[in-house]
Chains A and B, each alone.
Chain A
């Protein structure tokens, strides 16, 4: 982590919970992290661990009934949580872009791709329609849709899944954002297209100094393309660290379980390691460590005290971490 760039996004003590019951369990609990310019941070966890909710909280797009209860979100020098809805709307799409898992539902089916990208640019940057068109052409070429860039108006249904996702990324990049949050951008795509999309993100990161937050459930994917990984479980960060060491020596039993659940490419014989049980629902949080009921390393003290995140490297929140050989 030497020579990190300037910090683009800094989140401190972010807590998200139900608006009507402020005393109920937080859906995202006391989450802190930073992303530097040109860096990619990956959120990894099962469904329901609060990954997408964190992204929504950063953008101020939380669903009805869910609220940010505490914490700060800083994008460069601006405190986003202090902004009015109007001021925040001006920043969404301009300073920060969001790429959704399913581009077909995120794109408007009755407007052409070109019109949608031009609209984003025009709304935020103003200028002539001609300038917006020029910009759209350049963006489409940049994400590898040269034919669409120079061709006729194209509608989302005319594109394949991978091309739609490229168009989605082009829309997110229309106003030169400094932060891009990609929420499971490749889950619906096959491996070849996935590799292309990840190459594209890596290139954009290098060329534009874009800070990227990648949300995924696949630890192998995260470890292969991100700089740092943050593992979330039931709304809490359980481990954070450099991606290169994550696959070799995960400390938290949950990180290790996520890794061992992946089918290995070589070695057909062994049974896959399952994680028993399900993540706890919002209503029923166990006492002590949240992962204790499913943890293979569980001891008596785990059920009493909730472990805190260590302040020094390696950073994890566990009383009995996995040490030694994997």
Chain B
């Protein structure tokens, strides 16, 4: 299959026994995640902080060890590859970080930042590198004059564009975008999102778009995976998922979005319980916070069920499809 395919991906971090901690402790950062991302499309990964979004991006790029499951790129199992065999695949997949400032060496000029991957991936000569770097900058809407500047001399939007240009340097086919717009203000966010769409149309890139913001996801992603506590809660076409969420957690994420002009007490669904660290060890991972939870949910973990319309939900009591009754 063309594109990215992730099957039963599990990432587990192990705390080895040492003084004071006799037992080995395991933390499952991701449990049994499966999805497919066809070439030229965007898959949104949404969830709150600590749900495993970033780990998922890193696991796909083989930047963190995978405990179980497979990652396939164009049908090749890259989880089975190592070292030199993996390198050509690394070139095809690039990562854009949330905070471009922290992801750049402050003592390197934009020219060096963008042309370093050209040197590493293609062994390009210095003179051609500069020209290619200027081209890359132009493609993301930056002037050639930026080349000789340092990251601190750029505005937030410019920095994120430079980060994009650097990622595009190796001519990748998949970009993992880890919250690329959450540090930017709304007008810059609009520009970066538009730019990402243009680049996708122009070069047929695939995006794994990681965000906690469902409105940004709804704009850019064709399909969306909702994560909670390292588990897949729901996935499906973004428009359907937002119009009619099947999982109660997706519904609560939607309820948390600020609703303009709807009168003030807009967020009622939020709970005062901090979610971190207290995930249940058996049953549904979301059930302590779920208002639809029944006795079965406390001991029987729901598996992924396929619903109509290419949707998958991990819930015993999914919300009814309300697309017919309720049209915004």
Contact = CB atoms under 8 A, between A and B. Distances in A.
B85 to A, nearest CB: 37
A160 interface: yes
Contacts of B86: none
A199 B265 CA distance: 8
Contacts of B263: 244
A257 B190 CA distance: 11
Contacts of B194: 271-272, 274
Interface residues of B, number: 53
A261 interface: yes
Interface in A230-277: 243-248, 257-258, 261-266, 268, 271-275
Nearest to A217: B185
Interface stretch (B9-17, B27-35, B73-81, B251-259): B251-259
A237 B269 CA distance: 34
A264 B270 contact: no
Interface stretch (A8-16, A81-89, A187-195, A302-310): A187-195
Contact of B272 (A196, A223, A246): A196
Interface residues of A, number: 49
A243 B261 contact: yes
Contacts of A274: 187, 190-191, 194
Contact of A265 (B48, B242, B271): B242
Interface in A190-232: 190-196, 198-199, 202, 217-221, 223-225, 227
Given A192-B48, A202-B265, A247 B260 contact: yes
A109 B187 CA distance: 34
A202 B267 CA distance: 10
B43 to A, nearest CB: 14
A80 B63 CA distance: 54
A246 B262 CA distance: 11
Interface stretch (B18-26, B122-130, B210-218): B210-218
A250 B182 CA distance: 25
Contacts of A258: 186-187
Contacts of B272: 144, 196
B190 A266 contact: no
A273 B245 CA distance: 27
A278 interface: yes
Contacts of B187: 46, 257-258, 261, 274-275
A47 interface: yes
A217 B219 CA distance: 19
A191 B216 CA distance: 12
Contact of A160 (B50, B197, B271): B50
B107 interface: no
B39 interface: no
B242 A160 contact: no
A163 interface: yes
B242 to A, nearest CB: 6
A103 interface: no
B48 A266 contact: no
B219 A195 contact: no
B186 A265 contact: no
A224 B219 contact: no
Find the residue from A187, A191, A258, A261 having the highest chain B CB count within 10 A. Answer: A191
A191 B193 contact: no
B62 interface: no
Contacts of A187: 182-183
A265 B255 CA distance: 12
Contacts of B147: none
Given A192-B270, A263-B218, A271-B194, 19 more contacts: A47-B185, A162-B49, A191-B212, A191-B213, A195-B269, A198-B258, A199-B267, A217-B186, A221-B258, A223-B261, A224-B259, A246-B261, A263-B189, A264-B219, A266-B239, A268-B239, A271-B197, A275-B187, A278-B155
8 contacts: A163-B274, A191-B48, A191-B213, A192-B275, A224-B261, A244-B261, A244-B263, A263-B215
Nearest first, the 9 closest Cβ-Cβ pairs linking A and B are A223-B260, A263-B219, A224-B258, A217-B185, A190-B212, A195-B267, A247-B260, A261-B190, A195-B256
